[in-house]
Amino acid sequence: MKYLDFPIGTHKVNGVDISFRCFGSGPLIVLLHGYPQNNLIWHKIAPLLAQDFSVLAPDLRGYGESEKPDASNGDHSIYCKKTLARDVMELVDRLGHGAFHVVGHDRGARVAHRMALDFPDRILSLTSLDVTPSQAAFEAMDASLAFAWFHWHLMRQPYPLPETLIGNSAPQYFDFLMERWCATEGAISSEFMEKYRKSFCNPAAVHASCAEYRSVELDLEHDEHDRGRLLDCPVLVLWGADTRKRPGWQTGSSLNMVEAWKERARNVNGRALECGHFIPEEKPQELLAALREQFASIGQE
């Protein structure tokens, strides 16, 4: 079956309606998307993973078809990673699963990291796609990283400034991000690009994503509380090496991706892939092979 043929479900968990696709059988893999996309980013690899695993691909709170709570009151707990992690964990519980693997791209990797900190007995492995831990990135912020992460600094501004600026030209803003962050021509089809654009370009989605980025203020407080805690689960780190259109991305001039994760986990391995930011769509076969190798190494293949 094609990914779009798998049915969409919705459950109310942690007080919000979360939309998801869940299919396959076997050990569970949770796939968490990033910004500015939704669960559709997994359409190339999820059906193949489902040949051997159960696959759960939700839309994070505030994204895709999931509920988008209003956070204009400045309450960062509405969209902080602790909250999003609990959303996903309650969804897993609701679907009757125990321990699982989690694969996160972009924002999804930050949620996955928080899940591994808050629910360590439930995470079999963590795979981070094109993400440096938030705390490491902000503490090493330099001019090149700040340039690459202009959207962070824009969306962190108080409500309603970023919502107004982005909302006034949402299609142009979205197209700029997707073009700059993708390094593989034709990797994202016009069909899926239009689906992402339609999902992103509405006021509720723009507000929710800004609120989620603003919540990094609280995320960093939570990270500081957990400073020095090392994850016990195996961690696979993959990132896009082609940063010609996004110089400074994730690491700036001083960070090393693997070393940054080694400061937060006991068992880390990783490598760069010749692509841009959207690994699941730019390098699906390479990602699939890396995931299978990771799962096999811990007896889950």
- pLDDT tens column, 36-57: 999 999 999 999 999 999 999 9
**CA–CA distances in Å: residue 232 to residues 125, 236, 267, 282:** 9, 12, 7, 30
pLDDT higher than 80, residue 166: yes
Catalytic residue among 59, 87, 106, 130: 106
Query: Alpha-carbon distance 210 to 100, whole Å?
Result: 29
Q: What is the pLDDT of residues 115-145, one digit of tens each?
A: 999 999 999 999 999 999 999 999 999 999 9
**CA distance between the termini of the chain:** 21
Cβ neighbours for 46, distance < 8 A, ≥ 6 positions apart:
3, 6, 21, 23, 31, 55, 57
Cβ neighbours for 142, distance < 8 A, ≥ 6 positions apart:
248, 252, 253, 254
pLDDT of 301: 44
Ramachandran class of 170: left when φ > 0, alpha when ψ lies in -120 to 50, beta otherwise: alpha
Nearest to 224 by CA among 117, 84, 76: 117
Mean pLDDT of the chain: 97
Can you read off the two tokens belonging to residue 25? 């059988």
Query: Alpha-carbon distance 278 to 249, whole Å?
Result: 13
pLDDT higher than 80, residue 299: no
Q: For residues 1 and 213, which has the higher predicted lDDT (pLDDT)?
A: 213
Query: Alpha-carbon distance 241 to 197, whole Å?
Result: 25
DSSP 251: T
pLDDT of 48: 98
> Under a CB-based contact definition with an 8 Å cutoff, are residues 11 and 17 in contact?
yes
Query: Alpha-carbon distance 272 to 258, whole Å?
Result: 10
Q: What is the pLDDT of residues 3-38, one digit of tens each?
A: 999 999 999 999 999 999 999 999 999 999 999 999
β-bridge partners, 237: 128, 270
Burial of 180 (0-12, 13-18, 19+ CB in 10 A): middle
pLDDT of 145: 97
Cβ neighbours for 172, distance < 8 A, ≥ 6 positions apart:
none
Active site residue 277: yes
pLDDT higher than 50, residue 168: yes
pTM here is 0.98
Ramachandran class of 151: left when φ > 0, alpha when ψ lies in -120 to 50, beta otherwise: alpha
Please name the helix (run of DSSP H) or strand (run of DSSP E) that holds residue 165, with its range, or none: helix 161-167
Query: Alpha-carbon distance 240 to 58, whole Å?
Result: 23
Active site residue 113: no
Identify residue 102 by its one-letter amino acid code: V
pLDDT higher than 60, residue 300: no
Q: What is the pLDDT of residues 235-281, one digit of tens each?
A: 999 999 999 999 999 999 999 999 999 999 999 999 999 999 999 99
DSSP 265: B
pLDDT of 298: 86
User: Hey, what's the torsion of the CAs at 22, 25, 29, 31, to 10 degrees?
Assistant: -30
Identify residue 247 by its one-letter amino acid code: P
In sign, the C-alpha dihedral spanning 109, 114, 119, 120 is positive
